[in-house]
Structure 1
Amino acid sequence: MQRMGMVIGIKPEHIAEYKRLHAACWPEILAGLTAAHVHNYSIFLREPESLLFGYWEYHGTDFAADMQSISDQDVTRRWWALCSPCQVPLASRGAGEHWAGMELVFHLD
């Protein structure tokens, strides 16, 4: 299992919409994540800084293929079309990243 943390900004005027979307996340999105071996996925909001922190656990063996399977789904592209305008990617993110990956520095089971 691989633990993954990521961060992105959110436009303050879109916080309510982002919360509304995620309070009623589409079942097809959840099924796609599960099929891609993503578990224990959580998104946290930090205000007043307007940051989103995401955490998930990846239980698969081919991360690149599983993430591509999510990206390839039409329902995912429609979901992203709603969520992406709410987000503000960090200038310091890596090449090809939308959410900026984070280094795990401590974990307690």
Structure 2
Amino acid sequence: MNHAFKMKLKPGMVEEYRRRHDELWPDLAEALRGAGIYDYSIFLDEETLSLFAVLKRKPGYPFDDLPKQAVMRRWWDYMAPLMECHPDNRPIDWPLEPMFHFD
């Protein structure tokens, strides 16, 4: 099961965003795996500062509970200065509609 969405960085935050993801917290990685996520990539459009994320997840896992986990809330607070967010620091995201898949 694929899930794709986009987010937006604030100007001047590209390198810090990359650094923070290069140092992903082990407890966050564990929470992602526990939600059934087994493949997760984020791509940057440098011209627009748009981030395009694609994650693959296994059905039957508590994916929808991920935002309720304390580690996810802490990560959002940590990342909020770098990107466009809702008042609760959850990143603003826009779902992307599948248009083509080659397997």
TM range (shorter): 0.7 to 0.9
Consecutive unaligned residues in structure 1, runs of 5 or more:
90-96
Runs of 4+ deviating beyond 6 Å: none
Q: In the alignment, residue 6 of structure 1 is paired with which amino acid?
A: F
1:77 is displaced (CA, Å) by 1.0
1:12 alignment partner in structure 2: 11
Whether 1:101 and 2:98 are equivalent positions in the alignment is: no
Identity across aligned pairs (percent)? 30
CA contact (8 A) 1:7 1:52 kept: yes
Consecutive unaligned residues in structure 2, runs of 5 or more:
86-90
Q: In the alignment, residue 21 of structure 1 is paired with which amino acid?
A: R
CA contact (8 A) 1:36 1:60 kept: no
Could you state the TM-score of these two structures normalised by the residue count of structure 2? 0.85
Give the number of aligned pairs: 99
Distance 1:101 1:42 in 2: 15
User: Map of 1:74-85 to 2, 5 A cutoff?
Assistant: 74-85=70-81
Could you state the TM-score of these two structures normalised by the residue count of structure 1? 0.81
Q: For each residue in 1:15-73, what CA deviation from the matched residue of structure 2 results, as whole angstroms up to 9, or x when unmatched?
A: 121111001100111110111001210011111211100000121236xx4222x2222
Distance 1:61 1:73 in 2: 18
- Name the Cα RMSD after superposition: 1.9
